[in-house]
Structure 1
Amino acid sequence: MSRFHGVQREIYLALADSLSPHYYETTHQFLFDILLKENIIKAAKLLNDKRPDFSPFVTSKFNPTFWTKTPFGYSLKPNVLPSNAISDIYNNSSEYGFECETAVVLIFYKAVLDSISNRSFNHLFQKLLVWDWSYDRDLGIYTESGNNFIPGDVVYFYNPDYDHPIWMGENAVYLGRDLYFGHGIGVKTSEEMIAALNTLRKKNAVKSAYLMSQHSRLNIRYLAQFSTPF
């Protein structure tokens, strides 16, 4: 444990204290998981700082230098490197507008990009199509039930009495210490996130928003093989 400090130490302790077992085939996979979760948190915080617009699909925007809008989302333009396109979302955030599901997928892509080489990233994600929960199968997002959240997990605050469909809920990255980042709301505690969603309910709503007992993660066993030795 002495090799871990800061956010990595918080992730390690959360894994060690979790009531749900976490299995790794190699030490490399374990260390990669720590790194990837740290980079998910960093990517979420950076997106919060950059503040791209919060937009439904009809008013959404992606930098046309890198992306083409289709009926199904934004596709990577030919001859554009995936690594450059994902980096541009963070470098030129004013050129982008999207909702919280898309934000989570983009955070995952950024975290993977920061955890493996550009060459490997560009090999894995050559034909990106981004919107909502659309993602390349090599990203390997999966969702499980349970509330033993680890920093770097993506959770969901459900808002059953929503007014506008875009506020049916909020996908959020768990940052640790009861802090969550959700695009469109920002960094909040669970109580503050629920309070924010409760202001976005229909008239005479009676059901409060709540944090669901589920979490989404990436397939670290698959992705770890593309990272350099630790």
Structure 2
Amino acid sequence: MSNNAFVPYDFIVLLSGIGVSLQVFLISSLIGAVLGTLLALTRHYQVPGLGHAATFTSEFLKNSPVLVQLFLIYFGLPILLGVDMTATEAAVITLSGNTAAFISVIVVSALASIDKGQVEAARSFGLSEWKVLTKIITPQALLVAIAPLVGLAVNQLQVTSLISVIGVMDITKVGQILNQRTWQPFIVWPVIGATYFMLSWLLAKLGRTLETHLKKHQDWASL
């Protein structure tokens, strides 16, 4: 058999790469969502001593290249802290911070879009800040934020292709290996691109379904 020929095991390796990409994406998205929301609330409520720090952190992470962040975390953080770190761990840390930065901006904008009259009215009826946040602000802010959040998720899924540069065996790294072995770039890279397209399309479709559900729920609740 020619060394340039594809073998059934290549399909297994490809599926493994897809699994790694999705794992990094899902974990970093979950952590980023939690951290981003906390950053946004810190900025929105102008917590003393933390508001400016949260703004600086989110702006720095949002406006610096992800590739540079990957190198800093993977090569710099172990030296700074004196710890061992795998490439996958570095990828998760980097993408979590980057995702959190963008989510914080989206959430801050969504919170700012809520009519302040509603918030003041709720407070005048004696509702606690927690109930105002969870019962008044969050449902409306979520509907405003859902579309940009879905767009961010699709973008971050594609950004995972960068983690291959530090050695993570994601789908892009698998593509590089297959391309080097088979020398058939017009087969390998269209397959990799189509895989990213399908994953992004499914994610966007899921987001549109969720957005439609939220709109229907809000329309029903407002009756």
Q: TM-score, normalised by structure 1?
A: 0.28
- Name the structure where strand makes up a greater proportion of residues: 1
Structure number having the greater helix percentage:
2
Higher relative contact order (CA 8 A, sep 6+): 2
